[in-house]
Amino acid sequence: MVANHPHVQGFFDGGAANKIGTGGFVVFDRSGECLVAQAKYYGEELGTNNRAEVYALKDMMEWLANNPMVWKPPAIVIYGDSQLIINFCNR
């Protein structure tokens, strides 16, 4: 997170251990204040890292869709560490 960033910033991550998925996201406003931080237990149905990453991003996107005043232009920058999802989103 960078304070006084020109964009709202969102970070997501997910993971799995023993076939049990968890994930979450956090969103910071332009001044660096945390607007939301959410962690979620996805359970065995999403028991892979890739699935947990996708659902963490999905949860963040749903939160953003329900809170449009937070990220009106210039936009939001989203960060994650899943190369699979990043490559997919950049296509």
Across 23-45, b (16+ Cβ under 10 Å) vs e yields bbbbbbbbeeeebeeeebebeee
Give the residue-averaged pLDDT of 13-32. Answer: 91
Question: How far apart, in whole angstroms, are the C-alpha atoms of residue 64 and residue 59?
Answer: 9
Tens of pLDDT along 25-76? 999 988 889 999 999 998 887 778 888 999 999 999 999 989 877 766 667 8
Give the residue-averaged pLDDT of 66-91. Answer: 82
Asked if residue 49 lies in contact with residue 84, where contact means CB atoms within 8 angstroms, the answer is no
Asked if residue 11 lies in contact with residue 26, where contact means CB atoms within 8 angstroms, the answer is yes
Q: Which domains does the chain have, with CATH numbers?
A: 8-85 (3.30.420.10)
Question: How far apart, in whole angstroms, are the C-alpha atoms of residue 61 and residue 25?
Answer: 10
